[in-house]
Amino acid sequence: MAATKAYAAQTAQSPMAPWSLDRREPTPHDVEIDILYCGVCHSDLHTVRNEWGGTVYPAVPGHEIVGRVTKVGDHVKRFKVGDLAAVGCLVDSCRECANCKQGLEQYCLVGMVGTYNGKDKYNGGVTYGGYSKQIVVTEDFVLTVSGKQPLEGIAPLLCAGITTYSPLRYWKVGKGTKVGVLGLGGLGHMGVKLAASFGAEVTMLSHSPSKEADAKRLGAHNFVLTKDESQVAKMNGYFDFILDTVSAEHDYNLYLNLLGTNGTMVCVGAPPTPAQIPAFNLIFGRRSIGGSLIGGIPETQEMLDYCAANNIVSDVEVIDIKDINEAYERMLKGDVKYRFVIDMATL
């Protein structure tokens, strides 16, 4: 075991503050990584404040990790000391169930191991995430990244990137698809970039008037201010697909009505409050509502390679770790362009 500096929340009410945790000595299949950058996902905030329930304290979030390999076990094949490496939202799964065998580890039937607040098979207790100096992860769950793009812009691809890439691919969004991306935050801005790069017609659905110019710069063809009823009403029946990335309670029915016949709305945003959806809003127009969780390891690698080949990175504001509590407050106000990323050299 090696002591590693970290930032943790000790209770749902306490701010993030310095803490020390133990990482396991690498086993023959493990990769030890010095973390260089870690993105700040809204799920980190939901978790440390126990908004979904089930958080175990101390809680160390962070699942958008990019770093450099410092040690490898004897059986590790794909990494050597000094290589760049990345870790996303998963650090393990059963590897044997039908879903794991298809590379859908995020839907592991036994239960995937989240990068934080997951069940730690090695140390007991829960897993600790990327707001720390080092992490040790089994090779099969470590991703490779290109050294050609800025590392701080790659980090958010590990959650915001794959969480939007996966449903856009699964629902075959591309040329000829009219897509609405709801919410312009970390996930939303990646949703816009990726959907536009796949050739879709992209409309940003945002409740923040100040984000219109950015939405268009990121690749959106249209902008609809969701606070303006007349703008929203004009889009009734317009979309083939809506990607809902909103983190807070909102009315799903308003957006279901924007779907055309056979349209699908996929929720990736995970507000803690349940939604009420009358069956009639689905029955008329044979509309569907679905969900999607991050992405499996093969698809995450595919997304990283796609972004490297197409020069796609996240738009980030790099912060010192001591400013993480302020960053959370700014994220709640929608004041982030469009992902905070922690420079781990400041820990």
Residues in the site for ligand NAP, rule: CB under 6 A? 41-43, 46, 159-160, 163, 183-188, 206-208, 211, 245-248, 250, 268-270, 292-294, 331, 334, 336
Nearer to Zn ion, 121 or 217 (CB): 121
Nearer to ligand NAP, 72 or 143 (CB): 143
Near Zn ion by CB under 5 A, which window of 37-45, 218-226, 274-282, 325-333? 37-45
Task: Give residue for tokens 């990121």.
Answer: 218
- CB-based contacts of 53, cutoff 8 Å, min separation 6: none
Candidate residues 40, 100, 196, 304; the one interacting with Zn ion per rule CB under 5 A = 100
Q: Which does 100 bind (CB under 5 to 8 A by kind): ligand NAP, Zn ion, none?
A: Zn ion
Candidate residues 31, 36, 43, 177; the one interacting with Zn ion per rule CB under 5 A = 43
Let me know: does 253 contact 245? Beta carbons within 8 Å: no
Chain residue at closest Cβ approach to ligand NAP: 185
Can residue 90 be called a binding residue for Zn ion (CB under 5 A)?
A: no
Near Zn ion by CB under 5 A, which window of 3-11, 42-50, 212-220, 249-257? 42-50
Task: Give residue for tokens 């023959």.
Answer: 28
Let me know: does 61 contact 328? Beta carbons within 8 Å: no
Q: Which does 97 bind (CB under 5 to 8 A by kind): Zn ion, ligand NAP, none?
A: Zn ion
Min dist CB 41 to ligand NAP, Å, is: 5
- CA dihedral 331→205→244→158, nearest 10 degrees, is -50
Distance from C-alpha of 210 to C-alpha of 310, rounded to nearest angstrom: 28
Can residue 205 be called a binding residue for Zn ion (CB under 5 A)?
A: no
Q: CA angle 294-313-307, nearest 5°?
A: 70
DSSP-derived pairing of the beta strands 113-114 and 90-92: antiparallel
Min dist CB 332 to ligand NAP, Å, is: 7
Candidate residues 93, 138, 245, 300; the one interacting with Zn ion per rule CB under 5 A = 93
- CB-based contacts of 173, cutoff 8 Å, min separation 6: 179, 195, 198, 200, 240, 241
Min dist CB 271 to ligand NAP, Å, is: 6
Distance from C-alpha of 335 to C-alpha of 340, rounded to nearest angstrom: 10
- CB-based contacts of 223, cutoff 8 Å, min separation 6: 203, 204, 206, 211, 212, 215, 216
Can residue 97 be called a binding residue for Zn ion (CB under 5 A)?
A: yes
Residues within the interface to Zn ion (CB under 5 A): 41, 43, 93-94, 97, 100, 108, 110, 159
